[in-house]
Amino acid sequence: MLSNTAAEYEAVINICKGLFIKKTRDYGTAWRILRPESITDQIFIKAQRIRTLEEKKVSKVDEDITSEYIGIVNYCVIAMMQLDCGPETSTELDAAEVEVIFDGKVTETRDLMFAKNHDYGEAWRDMRISSLTDLILMKILRVKQIEDNKGQTLASEGVKANYQDMLNYAVFALIKLGVQ
């Protein structure tokens, strides 16, 4: 089953990355202006919209749950990039450079997923998509608290690990939604 997960994960990431690179070519790296808290709030908005759509089953905007999960994946990558690119890094990054960084963040996050899948036995496959949404919202609240605490934690993983978990939950949801 792991080889199936690898192929499904890669297919979803290719869709997310394709959109990310196209938007980078359209807009440049305007996201570089965002502070970490703003990125966290953007992920929150997307996850909250998914939850609302899951509960109300009606959308008044022409974007479905799938596009919101793709947005979560891409904003999580942006968040991890921003953690590494301090204010001294240029606001405008070359699309080819962004693609390399994107691949690095996703590879690291995918490797974490495989390590956790080994220990948890791919339990996500038996979860409801709504539970994945709730887990993303919980992780966002954790990140917001860590940000409010100026990054200080006593016994918890940092914000990067939470972004990685959110990215992986969003990929799992996309796999379960049949995106490939």
pLDDT tens by residue, 135-154: 999 999 999 999 999 888 88
| SS3 per-residue string spanning 59-119 | CCCCCCHHHHHHHHHHHHHHHHHHHHCCCCCCCCCCHHHHHHHHHHHHHHHHHHHHHHHHH
Question: How does pLDDT run across 76-106, given as a tens digit for each residue?
Answer: 999 999 998 876 777 888 889 999 999 999 9
Q: What is the 8-class DSSP label of residue 178? A: T
Q: Is the pLDDT of residue 3 over 60?
A: no
pTM, to two decimals: 0.92
Q: What is the pLDDT of residue 59?
A: 67
Mean pLDDT score of the chain: 91
Question: How does pLDDT run across 11-70, given as a tens digit for each residue?
Answer: 999 999 999 999 999 999 999 999 999 999 999 999 999 999 999 877 667 678 999 999
What's the rounded Cα separation, in Å, for the pair 161 and 5? Answer: 21
Q: Is the pLDDT of residue 1 over 60?
A: no
CB atoms within 10 A of CB 67: 14
Q: Are 76 and 168 in contact (CB under 8 A)?
A: no
State percent of the chain over pLDDT 70.
95
Stronger pLDDT, 180 or 109, i.e. the higher one: 109
What's the rounded Cα separation, in Å, for the pair 10 and 24? Answer: 20
Q: Are 163 and 80 in contact (CB under 8 A)?
A: yes
